[in-house]
Each structure stands twice: as structure tokens, then as C-alpha cells.
């Protein structure tokens, strides 16, 4: 069965430091992979997505992610974190069941110290 694991529940970084959020997936074929961000009281916003092609994907807000098939990973990175990046980040894989259904990980909550 398809699944997504985000090993880190909470991460705290200092403003200006680099960031890497981990995501591992289990999927029987070539996956479509997504990173979403959720700020308090808000819905999910898509940061970036991977469908095919270049394994390094650029997204909004200075984020990027790298698809590594051999490691079944799709880690999210940012070279310099801003205080406004504090939020919860969700990795997702799809399609599941052929209907664009997404399977989400449990999320990683990011705190940013000034």
C-alpha cells in the first residue's frame, strides 16, 4: 500500500540557517510527489511538485526538493530560513487509486528561532 513517512515531528532552526525536511514514500510505480505548507488556521498551500524529468524541483518561497528514487525520498530544502517559514509541512504522494487521490504524511512542524 502507498504510504508516506515524515520522520521528524518537530524541527527547530535559527533564522538564516539552512533547512532540510525529510520525506520517504512507499509506492508501487513512479510516484507523483508534493510538498504542502499549512500555516495556523489556514488551508494547505502547494510548495512544489514532482511528476517527471529533472529530479531537483524548484518551488515557491525559495524551497526546493530532490527526488531520489534509490532512496524513496523527496526531501524539502531551503538554504536560508525566514521567521515566516514557521508552519507545518506535509509531504504527499499520488495518485492513489487512479483518481488523483493523495496520501499525506503526518507532517513536520517547523519552529524558527530569531
Partner 1 sequence: EAGVAQSPRYKIIEKRQSVAFWCNPISGHATLYWYQQILGQGPKLLIQFQNNGVVDDSQLPKDRFSAERLKGVDSTLKIQPAKLEDSAVYLCASSLSTQGNYEQYFGPGTRLTVT
Question: Which residues contact partner 1 by CB under 8 A?
Answer: 4, 32, 36, 41-46, 49, 51, 90, 92, 94-95, 97, 99-102, 104-107
Nearer to partner 1, 85 or 105 (CB): 105
| Cα–Cα dist 26/91, whole Å | 12
The DSSP code for 9 is: S
Minimum distance, C-beta of residue 95 to partner 1, in the bound complex (Å): 6
Question: How would you classify the pairing of strands 10-14 and 108-113?
Answer: parallel
Nearer to partner 1, 17 or 111 (CB): 111
Amino acid at each position: 500500500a502507498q504510504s508516506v513517512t515524515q520522520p521528524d515531528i518537530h524541527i527547530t532552526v535559527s533564522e538564516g540557517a539552512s533547512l532540510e525536511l525529510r520525506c520517504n514514500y512507499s509506492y508501487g510505480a513512479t510516484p507523483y510527489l508534493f510538498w504542502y505548507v499549512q500555516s495556523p488556521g489556514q488551508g494547505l498551500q502547494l510548495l512544489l511538485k514532482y511528476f517527471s524529468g529533472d529530479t531537483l524541483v524548484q518551488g515557491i518561497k525559495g524551497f526546493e526538493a530532490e527526488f531520489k528514487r534509490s532512496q524513496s525520498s523527496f526531501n524539502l530544502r531551503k538554504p536560508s530560513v525566514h521567521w515566516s517559514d514557521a508552519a507545518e509541512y506535509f509531504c504527499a504522494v499520488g495518485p492513489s487509486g487512479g483518481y488523483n487521490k493523495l496520501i499525506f504524511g503526518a507532517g513536520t512542524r517547523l519552529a524558527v528561532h530569531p
